[in-house]
Amino acid sequence: MGIDEAVFFYEHWSNSEIIFHCKQSDYEALKHEKVFVITNHSHDIDILLWMVIMNHFQKLGNDICYAKDFVKHIPFIGWHIYLSQHIRLKLCYEEDKNTIETRFRDIAANASDVWVVFMPEGPRLTKERHAESIKFALDRNLQPLMHHLVPKSKGIAVSYEALRQQGYKTIVNAQIAFDAKKFSQPKFSSMMQCRKMQAHVYFERIPFDSIEPTFDGIYKMFKSKDELHESFIERGNFNKNGNLKKILMQNHKSILINFICWSALWMVVTIVGGYSVIVHLYYKDMQNYSNLVTLVRIACDIHDYTYIYLRPILY
């Protein structure tokens, strides 16, 4: 399953929704801006959700995410992370620091607006990890985070400095929450079983220099995230001051068209390929292989041109 196909399963297969909570001005600015996104990580579907969001802002393929190095062995999505040159961390500070700095130097040669999405908590939130996080905070006389893990500040500090040198001026404080009372639990199994999910995503654009890239500065940021999440639990939104707008993300037909094109392509390849194998087994006619290659190339060209021309129209 490719990335576009994964987005298809969220948007069209399960008919799941994303509701943005942000100022209208921030929403419009994000379409044309390179940003450093700092977000929480509470569900196994969070990474897929960010793919859907970046596709909405037409940033899919023009983004950088962080992942542990071993994910490159996971079929499809892991291969995408490896081939797309996302940042793969080996959990060794000096080696990871060099990887991050090298990758962000490459951004300077890219004129496009790249989104960098970082989840400082590391692994997703679980009861066991949360208990360890609370113990860590209490041992250091810190007020525990009730809905997050203690953030890892070293990765942010390295990324912050590297991005600042590349001219990044905006940080996006993002918070993800799911309405699991009225809709299905945020799991891959829910999506594959056509169970509708509803994600709520808080966006706040803040100046790059307003965040102090130290443990205290990042911990303070996550304390504010805790308050946001508590607000969502109590009132069903992040709108404490009444100045945020709810924007329902519209599903994109281009993803549906892309999925149909690929499905048709593989159907043609399967039928023609199977036929060619049968012919070869019986007649030993090698010409069938060249015919198959030609047909596959034509089908790929049709798919690519269809997607390229329909995408601007359908957005």
Nearest to 48 by CA among 17, 6, 11: 6
Backbone dihedral angles phi then psi of residue 314, each to the nearest 5 degrees: -85, -15
Cα distance between residue 37 and residue 170, in whole Å: 9
Burial class (CB in 10 A: 0-12, 13-18, 19+), 1: exposed
Which residues lie closer than 8 Å to 310 by C-beta, 6 or more apart? 254, 257
Q: What is the pLDDT of residues 154-182, one digit of tens each?
A: 888 999 998 888 889 999 999 999 998 89
Parse the chain into domains and list their residue ranges.
3-250, 255-314
Cα distance between residue 213 and residue 267, in whole Å: 51
Considering the domain 3-250, what is its CATH architecture? 3-Layer(aba) Sandwich (3.40)
CB atoms within 10 A of CB 244: 19
Q: Give me the sign of the Cα torsion angle 86, 88, 89, 94.
A: negative
Burial class (CB in 10 A: 0-12, 13-18, 19+), 243: exposed
Helices (H), the chain: 3-8, 24-29, 46-56, 77-83, 93-107, 127-139, 153-165, 188-192, 215-235, 253-283, 287-314
pLDDT at 314 over 50: no
Tokens at 145, concatenated: 């985070």
Cα distance between residue 176 and residue 165, in whole Å: 28
Torsion angle (degrees, nearest 10) of CA 139, 158, 54, 297: -130
Q: Which residue has the higher pLDDT, 82 or 250?
A: 250
Q: What is the pLDDT of residues 139-156, one digit of tens each?
A: 999 999 999 999 998 888
pLDDT at 222 over 60: yes
Rounded to 5°, the CA angle 217-39-154 comes to 45
pTM of the predicted protein model: 0.81
pLDDT at 313 over 50: no
Q: What is the pLDDT of residues 259-298, one digit of tens each?
A: 777 777 777 777 776 666 666 655 555 555 566 556 556 6
| C-beta of residue 139 within 8 angstroms of C-beta of residue 56 | no
Cα distance between residue 36 and residue 203, in whole Å: 12
Tokens at 219, concatenated: 């911990």
Q: How many CA atoms lie within 13 A of 293 on its CB side?
A: 5
